């Protein structure tokens, strides 16, 4: 189960990196779709961010799975707490995205929270791969 946790942290890290790339893609689609007057339709903007939104939902599900695996693997409180904190950041991220469509200034917090998620997931993945060792077996 420890290996499942380690691979899940790595998968989550890669997904977060792809998520940031998809946000950049959505931004540049909006610029590309703008007309000569500098206007772009809401539909064009939403089209550019569809993959970002879909992957965001998958990432939050992976974050929840990470908490479950950390608890089931009995890795200890620090691992479960870090996983739960990351899941909490994911919930906040979804709320900020939802609220950001009504209050554009919250988009700033959505981006800052994304950096916190990136850092937390990177740190957890690094620690999982460098500090989680297979449990010792008793000598025969």
Residue 136 lies in a domain: no
* pTM for this entry: 0.86
Residue 138 lies in a domain: no
Residue with more model confidence, 16 or 137: 16
Of 98, 116, 115, 120, residue with least CA distance to 107: 98
Question: Under a CB-based contact definition with an 8 Å cutoff, are residues 56 and 93 in contact?
Answer: yes
Residue 114 lies in a domain: yes
Q: How many domains does the chain have?
A: 1
Looking at the predicted structure, is the pLDDT value of residue 65 above 90?
A: yes
Looking at the predicted structure, is the pLDDT value of residue 123 above 80?
A: yes
- Helical residues (DSSP H) of 34-105, grouped into ranges: 42-72, 77-100
Q: Please give the share of the chain, as a percent, with pLDDT higher than 70.
A: 93
Mean pLDDT computed over 109-116: 96
């Amino acid at each position: 189960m420890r290996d499942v946790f380690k691979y899940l942290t790595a998968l989550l890290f890669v997904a977060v990196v792809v998520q940031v790339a998809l946000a950049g893609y959505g931004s540049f689609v909006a610029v590309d779709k703008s007309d000569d007057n500098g206007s772009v339709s809401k539909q064009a903007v939403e089209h550019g961010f569809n993959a970002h939104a879909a992957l965001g939902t998958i990432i939050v599900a992976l974050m929840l799975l990470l908490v479950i695996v950390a608890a089931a693997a009995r890795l200890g409180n620090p691992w479960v707490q870090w996983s739960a904190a990351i899941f909490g950041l994911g919930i906040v991220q979804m709320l900020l995205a939802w609220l950001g469509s009504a209050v554009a200034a919250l988009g700033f917090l959505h981006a800052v929270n994304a950096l916190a998620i990136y850092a937390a997931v990177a740190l957890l993945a690094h620690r999982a791969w460098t500090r989680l060792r297979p449990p010792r077996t008793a000598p025969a």
